[in-house]
Each structure stands twice: as structure tokens, then as C-alpha cells.
């Protein structure tokens, strides 16, 4: 295993996000998008100019995917601007459309009946076929209640129908990812009591995971498993929260390398750049703690891992217009 030092990470933006999550590279715009969950913000960074801006949602945003269905309806023009997006918020799945005044128009697409008060969506993304997957969690992590669940939204229902949980008994679902052929799904639980990554057989025709098995037990490795990405070689990259590392695991679960970032809490990673050979990493800026040893906490960083990633799938379901 090789570990690089913090200087290998380049600061993209000193964003100071409370919880920077769900980075998505938009190839047509050559721009990176991500969210700050507690601030309810969708961020955008333009790679050519370095310009950054954000929009604010009515609820906390946890995860996003480009709305390819709306893009197709617009003849491709929707992919040349800052939206729309499919997103997991607090109360369900929404379509988000940025407005000129810096706010987000949020149209509900699917609701969720949370198992307890004080829950929201957390990590999520589309599978290779364009179905949107996202997990829910209790915001009070100290309670350690396994009331979280994993949901799939494919837009089949007309109107904001309730989603049905496909996996239950999760505390902090995280680390969603899909192999290059789409036939393996990865999922982690980043709570300190769990710290596991699982692999599933994935039916690409029906969008059904099965054959759950332990992929990586991270209790013996530095950092809790947080957000993830899969590269073109089929290797699984996952942020080691609390350890300032991003780990790469081979498809057989072997730790291949670890790359360092200059903050303690990297949250999620995504491949981007013109050649998809840059690994962007969002991070968390903890409140009420001394940040003198990590002044860039909450920032977005770029790593050069020496491998290429895969394009992030857009939502391809039939979401209501």
C-alpha cells in the first residue's frame, strides 16, 4: 500500500462547507457540482475560469444526479446550464432547478415515510442504467439507531408517490457505487459501530441488489467509510473520514493505495476533469472545534491518482414533467 502526503492534494476551492457531499463532474459544462448539506446549498465550480457560485434549496440537500430525462426533453440544451437535478432532500426526492435569484425551485417527485422523526436523505447516485438510489439516516448519529433505509427512484409512478425501502436496518448509509459493467453494487455504513462496506450482485434489468456480502471491514483501517467512486479499472475509492485519506480497493477487496488530503474529514470523491483523471474530494468543516491544524476543512480538493474514472450517469427515468 502506498500513501501520499497532503501536498499531493490541490485546493480547488476553500468552500468551507459544513458537510460537503455528492460531487458530480458535468463533462459538457466542464464544471464540478456538489452540495453542502446543512447549508441547503448546491455549489458549482467552473474549471476553466475558477468561478464559483451556489443556490439555496428549501430543505437540506444530501445527494444529486443530473436530470437526463429533462435534458432529453429539451433536446440536449438542459445539459449546458446549471440544471435541473434529481436530488435527495429531507422529505423525499425532488427535481431542483436553479433560479437567477440564487434559489432552487424544488418540485417533489417522490415522498418517503421516515421510520423516525429527524431523518433526511444522505448518500446517493444513479446506477449505470440511470435509476436514482439514495439512503436515509437519523441526523442524531449519537443515537446509533438503525432506522435508515435504501431507496430506488426510477420515476415509474406518476406524481409524488411514496418510495418503498429496498434495504433496511442501516444507521448511516454511504459509499454507494456501481462497477463498470453495473453488475456489482457497493454500499457502506459509516457509523462508528459498523464501518463496513458491502458488495451486492446487481440485476441491471430490474435494478435489484442481492447476495449481500462483506467487501471491506474498515474497523481495522484508518478512517470510517464515507462517500465513494469507482474507476475505469473497477476499483472502489472511498473516503476515510476522520483519517484524512481516500482509499482505493481492488475488486477483490484488497487495499491498493491511500491518498492523503489536508483535512481530517474527506466526505465523498468523484472523478472529473477533461480526461476523467482527476479525483475531486469534498470535505466536512466541523463546528465547535479547533481548526488550526486543518484550516481548509470544508474545502474541495483535487488529487491525481494515476487512473481514470467513469462518467457519472444521469437520471434516465420517467420523472413527471
Tens digit of each residue's pLDDT (9 = 90 or more) over 204-236: 999 999 999 999 999 999 999 999 999 999 999
Predicted confidence at residue 259, as pLDDT, reads: 97
Nearest to 113 by CA among 187, 41, 169, 164: 164
Q: Is the pLDDT of residue 179 over 80?
A: yes
Predicted confidence at residue 70, as pLDDT, reads: 61
Mean pLDDT along residues 23-46? 97
Predicted confidence at residue 155, as pLDDT, reads: 86
Average pLDDT, the chain: 92
Residues marked active site are found at 226
Q: Is residue 310 part of a domain?
A: no
Q: Is residue 314 part of a domain?
A: no
Higher-pLDDT residue of 291 and 1 is 291
Q: Is residue 281 part of a domain?
A: yes
Query: Residue 318 — very low, low, confident or very high, per pLDDT cuts 50/70/90?
Result: low
Question: Which CATH number goes with the domain that contains 275?
Answer: 2.120.10.30
**DSSP code at position 118:** S
Please state, for a pLDDT cut of 70, what percent of the chain lies above it: 91
- Which range marks the domain in which residue 43 is found? 2-303
Mean pLDDT is lowest, of 49-53, 75-79, 122-126, 288-292, for 75-79
User: What pLDDT, in 10s, does the model give residues 270-315?
Assistant: 999 999 999 999 999 998 888 999 999 999 999 999 999 999 999 9
Query: What global pTM score does this model have?
Result: 0.94
Query: Residue 71 — very low, low, confident or very high, per pLDDT cuts 50/70/90?
Result: low
Predicted confidence at residue 319, as pLDDT, reads: 55
Query: Residue 77 — very low, low, confident or very high, per pLDDT cuts 50/70/90?
Result: very low
Q: Is the pLDDT of residue 187 over 90?
A: yes
Q: Is residue 191 part of a domain?
A: yes
Predicted confidence at residue 83, as pLDDT, reads: 74
Sheet of strand 196-203, all strands in order from the earlier edge strand to the far edge: 173-178, 184-189, 196-203, 208-217
The number of domains in the chain is 1
Helix (H/G/I), strand (E/B), else coil: 218: helix
Predicted confidence at residue 56, as pLDDT, reads: 98
Residue the block writes with cell 484550516: 295
Helix (H/G/I), strand (E/B), else coil: 275: coil
Query: Residue 1 — very low, low, confident or very high, per pLDDT cuts 50/70/90?
Result: very low
Mean pLDDT along residues 160-185? 95
Give the C-alpha separation, 179 to 63, whole Å.
Answer: 19
Predicted confidence at residue 236, as pLDDT, reads: 98
Mean pLDDT along residues 150-167? 86
Kindly list the distances between the CA atom of residue 254 and the CA atoms of 195, 200, 217, 218, 257, in Å, as whole numbers in the listed order.
Answer: 16, 17, 11, 12, 9
Nearest to 218 by CA among 189, 259, 252, 244: 189
Q: Is residue 27 part of a domain?
A: yes
Q: Is residue 312 part of a domain?
A: no
Half-sphere CA count of 183, side-chain side, radius 13 A? 2
User: What pLDDT, in 10s, does the model give residues 3-13?
Assistant: 444 447 999 99
CB 287 within 8 A of CB 19: no
Q: Is residue 80 part of a domain?
A: yes
Q: Is residue 156 part of a domain?
A: yes
Residues in the chain: 321
Mean pLDDT along residues 103-126? 96
Amino acid at each position: 500500500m502506498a500513501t501520499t502526503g497532503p501536498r499531493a492534494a490541490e485546493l480547488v476551492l476553500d468552500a468551507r462547507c459544513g458537510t460537503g457531499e455528492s460531487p458530480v463532474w458535468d463533462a459538457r459544462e466542464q464544471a464540478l457540482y456538489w452540495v453542502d448539506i446543512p447549508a441547503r446549498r448546491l455549489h458549482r465550480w467552473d474549471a476553466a475560469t475558477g468561478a464559483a457560485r451556489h443556490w439555496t434549496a428549501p430543505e437540506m440537500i444530501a445527494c444529486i444526479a443530473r436530470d437526463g430525462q429533462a435534458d432529453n426533453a429539451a433536446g440536449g440544451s438542459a445539459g449546458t446550464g446549471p440544471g435541473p437535478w434529481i436530488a435527495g432532500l429531507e422529505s423525499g426526492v425532488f427535481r431542483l432547478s436553479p433560479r437567477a435569484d440564487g434559489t432552487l425551485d424544488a418540485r417533489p417527485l417522490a415522498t418517503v415515510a421516515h421510520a423516525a422523526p429527524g431523518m433526511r436523505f444522505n448518500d446517493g447516485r444513479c446506477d449505470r442504467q440511470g435509476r436514482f438510489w439514495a439512503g436515509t439516516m437519523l441526523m442524531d448519529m449519537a443515537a446509533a439507531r438503525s432506522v435508515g433505509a435504501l431507496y430506488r427512484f426510477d420515476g415509474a409512478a406518476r406524481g409524488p408517490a411514496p418510495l418503498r425501502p429496498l434495504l433496511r436496518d442501516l444507521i448511516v448509509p454511504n459509499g454507494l457505487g456501481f462497477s463498470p459493467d453495473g453488475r456489482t453494487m457497493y454500499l457502506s455504513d459509516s457509523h462508528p459501530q459498523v464501518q463496513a462496506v458491502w458488495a451486492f450482485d446487481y440485476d441491471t434489468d430490474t435494478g435489484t441488489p442481492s447476495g449481500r456480502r462483506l467487501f471491506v471491514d474498515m474497523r481495522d483501517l484508518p478512517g470510517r467509510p464515507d462517500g465513494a467512486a469507482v474507476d475505469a479499472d473497477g476499483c472502489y475509492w472511498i473516503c476515510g473520514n476522520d483519517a484524512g485519506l481516500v482509499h482505493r480497493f481492488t475488486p477483490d477487496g484488497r487495499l491498493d493505495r491511500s491518498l492523503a488530503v489536508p483535512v481530517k474529514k474527506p466526505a465523498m470523491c468523484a472523478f472529473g476533469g477533461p480526461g476523467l483523471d482527476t479525483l475531486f474530494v469534498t470535505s466536512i468543516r466541523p463546528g465547535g472545534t479547533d481548526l488550526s491544524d486543518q484550516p481548509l476543512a470544508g474545502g474541495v480538493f483535487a488529487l491525481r491518482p494515476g487512473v481514470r474514472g467513469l462518467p457519472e450517469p444521469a437520471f434516465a427515468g420517467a420523472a413527471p414533467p
